[in-house]
Structure 1
Amino acid sequence: MSAVAEEITAKPYDYVIVGGGTAGLTLAARLSEHPDVTVTVLEAGEAHLNDPRAMTPGLAASMYDDPKYDWGYKTVPQAGSSMLNFGILTYPPKREIDSWAALGNPGWSWDELFPYFLKSETYHPPGEGTPAALNSAYVELDAHGHDGPIQTCFAQISGPFDEVWQPTMERLGAGSAGIRRREWPWVRTRISIQSIRHRGRGVMRSRHIICAMRTGRISPF
């Protein structure tokens, strides 16, 4: 047994969460808001702290198929992860969320989930230097949160992808509401689980995150 594993097993924890993804760390942060609760998170991935490729939104594609960042699983097309993504904030359509409730899941309708979208976000209005190509003029303030742990804003730069994405969606009849990105407004870096670990709300002394730790089996008491 490694020294880290021995250290973990030597301490009692109220909760052990396997997987430090968006769901795992969100749950850990909420649980550790209670001062008397201890939480540890076991994450198989490495901690890429201060790694330019992990922190820079425009370098996300450089991590694809690199075993240092990407597990390389082959599956059906899915959305990005907390590490491999371009930092674009996109909420699901209302009818898609409502379909969850219609399948027999009480409490999972759009009207019931939307308050939690707002609760999770702090929206920062765009400055004068925001490119017109990002369509930052069309913003419904009521559709954004203003006191949550996830900081959102418009990027101050744009490229060919940004310029063609929005008009293409409009020509297809899908419409658009601008391109918002998740990044820390003060330093313009992308948000991932490893950056939230060290910044912002929810960093509690009672929470421990152990990276590069694989979990093979969960034994009953």
Structure 2
Amino acid sequence: MSKSYDYIIIGAGSAGCVLANRLSADPDVSVLLIESGPDHTSPLIAMPRGIGKLLSPGNPHVWSYKAARGEGMSDEQWLKGKTIGGSSSVNGMVYVRGTPADYDNWEAQGCTGWGWKDMGRQFVALEDHQLGKSQWRGVGGPLKVSVHPSGHALCDAVISAAGELGAARTDDTNHVDSVSHGGFGYQPQTTWKGQRFSAAKAFLDPVRAPRT
């Protein structure tokens, strides 16, 4: 039996999952999300250490292709997500938002709405951050963000060494002051309670219709 949809989204990567979430906010709208890879049900996806197995050529959860580096340099093997959640289901789970000055520069070059005053608010709205709410950090949003547990001897030694070189220690490496002026600390991650928290888990699963 054929069925029609109001929207068809090709690719269930991070952007596709967010787009499906936002379009589905209208109860009168039907959305079809198409992905060429498998579902994100593998325990290797849920388990952060599964990245070592996921990012292997031939794994069904990744695209594997060669990227040309330029004249005189050998090609590189690049792996990108080929599963529900896209690369957010296979990546290293490091949560980096970018530099506010970069967003402002994009807006200055004509990308209206891409300045930090607008984009920063979007980050705040999407986050449910373990460190709690601040001006540019959010709680209650769909994306869970946690911080690597402190107290690891090697990590603390590296952070202390950075401090000896003049880099201030910070609890949140995405804090606008840390990004603008430099800071060193444990990295926020898209994990929650020991498991990966991909775009699929954050944005798609809550609005996904039961499979038939």
- Matches of residues 42-191 of structure 1 in structure 2 within 5 Å? 42-49=34-41, 51-67=42-58, 68-75=60-67, 81-125=87-131, 141-156=134-149, 162-163=155-156, 166=159, 171=165, 174-176=182-184, 178-185=186-193, 188-191=194-197
Classify 1:36/1:85 alpha carbon distance in 2 versus 1 (closer, same or farther; 3 Å).
Answer: same
State the Cα deviation string for residues 117-151 of structure 1 (Å, max 9, x = none).
Answer: 000011124xxxxxxxxxxxxx8833211121001
TM-score (norm 2): 0.71
Q: What runs of 5+ residues in structure 1 fail to find an aligned partner?
A: 1-6, 126-138, 211-221
**Aligned match of 1:38:** 30
8 Å Cα contact 1:20-1:193 kept in structure 2 = no
**Alpha-carbon distance in 2 for matches of 1:53, 1:161:** 26
CA distance in 1, matches of 2:154, 2:31: 41
How well do the aligned residues superpose, as a CA RMSD in angstroms?
Answer: 3.3
Q: May I ask how many residue pairs the two structures share in their alignment?
A: 182
The residue type paired with residue 99 of structure 1 is N
Distance of 2:148 and 2:97 partners within structure 1: 18
- Give the 3 Å change call, closer, same or farther, for CA 194–114 of structure 1 in structure 2: closer
The one-letter amino acid paired with 1:152 is V
Shift of 1:19: 0.5
AA in 1 matched with 2:56: D
Structure 1 distance, partners of 2:33, 2:10, is 6
Q: Cα 1:104–1:37, aligned 2, differ >3 Å: closer, same or farther? A: same
Distance 1:122 1:52, change over 3 A: same
Label 1:169 to 1:55 Cα distance change in 2 as closer, same or farther (>3 A).
farther
Supply the AA of the counterpart residue of 1:108.
Answer: W
- Is the 8 Å Cα contact of residues 14 and 39 (structure 1) preserved in structure 2? yes
In 2 relative to 1, CA 177–114 (structure 1 residues): closer, same or farther, beyond 3 Å?
farther
Q: 1 or 2, which has the higher strand percentage?
A: 2
Counterpart amino acid of residue 140 in structure 2 = D
Match of 2:201 in 1: 195
Tell me the secondary structure at the aligned position of residue 112 of structure 1.
helix
> Which structure has the higher relative contact order (CA within 8 Å, separation 6+)?
1
Tell me which residue corresponds to 1:3: none
1:49-103 Cα shifts (integer Å, max 9, x gaps):
0x22111112213222332222112236999721221212111011121221122
Unaligned runs of 5+ in 2: 70-75, 81-86, 168-181
- SS of residue matched to 2:144: strand
* CA distance 1:82–1:40, change in 2 (3 Å): same
TM-score for the superposition, normalised by structure 1: 0.69
